[in-house]
Amino acid sequence: MKKLTLLFAILLAVFSCENDDDITPVQDPLVIAEFRPNLSELNLFTGNLGDLNSSSRAFKYELNSQLFTDYAHKQRLIALPENTSMQYDGDGLPIFPDNTVIAKTFYYNNDERDLTLGKTIIETRVLIKINGEWETGDYKWNEDQTEAVLDLNGSTVPVTWIDADGESNSVNYEIPSNTDCFTCHHTYDNATPIGPKLRNMNFEVNGFNQLDEFVNSGHLTGVSSSSEVSSVVNWKNTSESLEDRARSYFDINCAHCHIEGGDCEEESTLRLAFDTSLEDSKIAQRKFSISLRISEYNEGFSMPFIGTTTVHTEGVELLQAYLDTL
């Protein structure tokens, strides 16, 4: 009888511990802040790599105005080291801790009218902050969409897709070399991110302000509310002024080169950051040159020099309408 009583007590103790509160949830593996040979080794994604399901160790971010890259779609991720955050440092880039990984994946929906027909993923560009300095790398996806391999040399990938109007489109998509990446991603001699400036992330995503979500989740510290941060506008939003829309387009598509310390600092007097005054930007003085160099694609002459192989029709229409007012 004593043995039965003891057995019953042991079983009772075991079963009393088997509840949801005592089960530690399984977490995704830590993101690897190194340029490994294969993208899968960085642990940025979970499950089938081609599904682009981000790891719980990373979070998505969106930009109010987006860089044009031959009509490609982009998925943007930031992975911060455990127990760290981005630190507020004004309306531009926050201060990222060492071992931050920023990834941007470029893809085309095969048919914009029916997303169930899948997508073609081209590349995943990665920035990693190592010992206080940003380093760049690019992963090229295979045809089976099962893996992407580190490739610093660049290449050209033919892509065809059907747009929302049912028209077939084709581009010879250019994956940049590591040298090309540095051309755009540098200020003076230092590599730097372009997109995730706080002013370009300060807007509503799925009904909630993105910066407030970052603050509430602990991803962003040093600021208590999105109201403390300025914002650019969405250049597609026709309820905003024509000038603000055009200046926002210039800011995300051109300013990384046309600023002090940018690649075009010495070759051009244009200064195209959103917060630069119109007088100091020299847009009015250079409007005819701008119009000429954005209106058609000629390699080595058109603006931007790299990153696109086609004219951005909607962007050119916006900028031309603005230039015509000056």
Please tell me the predicted confidence (pLDDT) of residue 92: 93
10 occurs within a structural domain: no
Same domain, 76 and 164: yes
Cα dihedral across residues 296, 302, 308, 309: positive or negative: positive
Domains: count for the chain = 2
3 occurs within a structural domain: no
Domain boundary among 203, 231, 259: 231
Contact (CB, 8 A) for 80 and 100: yes
215 occurs within a structural domain: yes
Same domain, 104 and 150: yes
Contact (CB, 8 A) for 154 and 177: yes
**Within its chain, how far is the Cα of 38 from the centroid?**
20
Please tell me the predicted confidence (pLDDT) of residue 88: 97
114 Cβ neighbours under 8 A, 6+ residues apart: none
Please tell me the predicted confidence (pLDDT) of residue 237: 96
Please tell me the predicted confidence (pLDDT) of residue 178: 84
Same domain, 138 and 53: yes
End-to-end CA distance of the chain: 98
The pTM of the full predicted model, rounded to 2 decimals, is 0.89
Please tell me the predicted confidence (pLDDT) of residue 188: 80
Q: Cα separation of 26 and 43, whole Å?
A: 15
What pairing do the DSSP bridges indicate for beta strands 86-87 and 220-221? parallel
Per-residue pLDDT tens digits of the chain, which is 326 residues long? 444 444 444 444 444 444 444 455 678 999 999 999 999 999 999 999 999 999 999 999 999 999 999 999 999 999 999 999 999 999 999 999 999 999 999 999 999 999 999 999 999 999 999 999 999 999 999 999 999 999 999 999 999 999 999 999 999 999 998 887 877 887 787 888 999 999 999 999 999 999 999 999 999 999 999 999 999 999 999 999 999 999 999 999 988 888 888 888 888 999 999 999 999 999 999 999 999 888 887 776 667 767 788 889 999 999 999 999 99
Contact (CB, 8 A) for 230 and 91: yes
Range of the domain at 85: 29-231
Same domain, 91 and 60: yes
Same domain, 199 and 265: no
Identify the CA nearest to 218 among candidates 59, 55, 30, 31.
59
Q: Name the 3-class secondary structure at 169.
A: strand
Same domain, 161 and 182: yes
Same domain, 171 and 62: yes
14 occurs within a structural domain: no
Please tell me the predicted confidence (pLDDT) of residue 11: 41
pLDDT, one tens digit per residue, over 11-25 is 444 444 444 444 556
Which alpha helices (DSSP H) does the chain contain, by range?
Answer: 2-17, 178-184, 198-201, 210-217, 242-253, 278-281, 287-294, 313-323
Q: Cα separation of 260 and 272, whole Å?
A: 10
Same domain, 49 and 94: yes
Same domain, 255 and 321: yes
Same domain, 167 and 274: no
pLDDT, one tens digit per residue, over 250-281 is 999 988 888 888 888 888 999 999 999 999 99
What pairing do the DSSP bridges indicate for beta strands 86-87 and 119-130? unpaired
Domain boundary among 183, 212, 231: 231
Please tell me the predicted confidence (pLDDT) of residue 256: 86
9 occurs within a structural domain: no
6 occurs within a structural domain: no
Please tell me the predicted confidence (pLDDT) of residue 158: 96
**Within its chain, how far is the Cα of 98 from the centroid?**
18
90 occurs within a structural domain: yes
Q: Please list, residue by residue across 78-98, b when 16 or more beta carbons sit within 10 angstroms of its beta carbon and e when fewer do.
A: bbbbeeebbebeebebbebee
Same domain, 254 and 312: yes
Q: Name the 3-class secondary structure at 88.
A: coil
Please tell me the predicted confidence (pLDDT) of residue 189: 79
15 occurs within a structural domain: no
DSSP structure string for 309-326: SS--HHHHHHHHHHHTT-
Same domain, 257 and 140: no
Identify the CA nearest to 195 among candidates 252, 273, 249.
252
Please tell me the predicted confidence (pLDDT) of residue 304: 76
Residue 101 to residues 35, 60, 258, Cα–Cα distance (Å): 10, 12, 26
Domain boundary among 172, 201, 231: 231
Q: Cα separation of 52 and 73, whole Å?
A: 13
Contact (CB, 8 A) for 308 and 68: yes
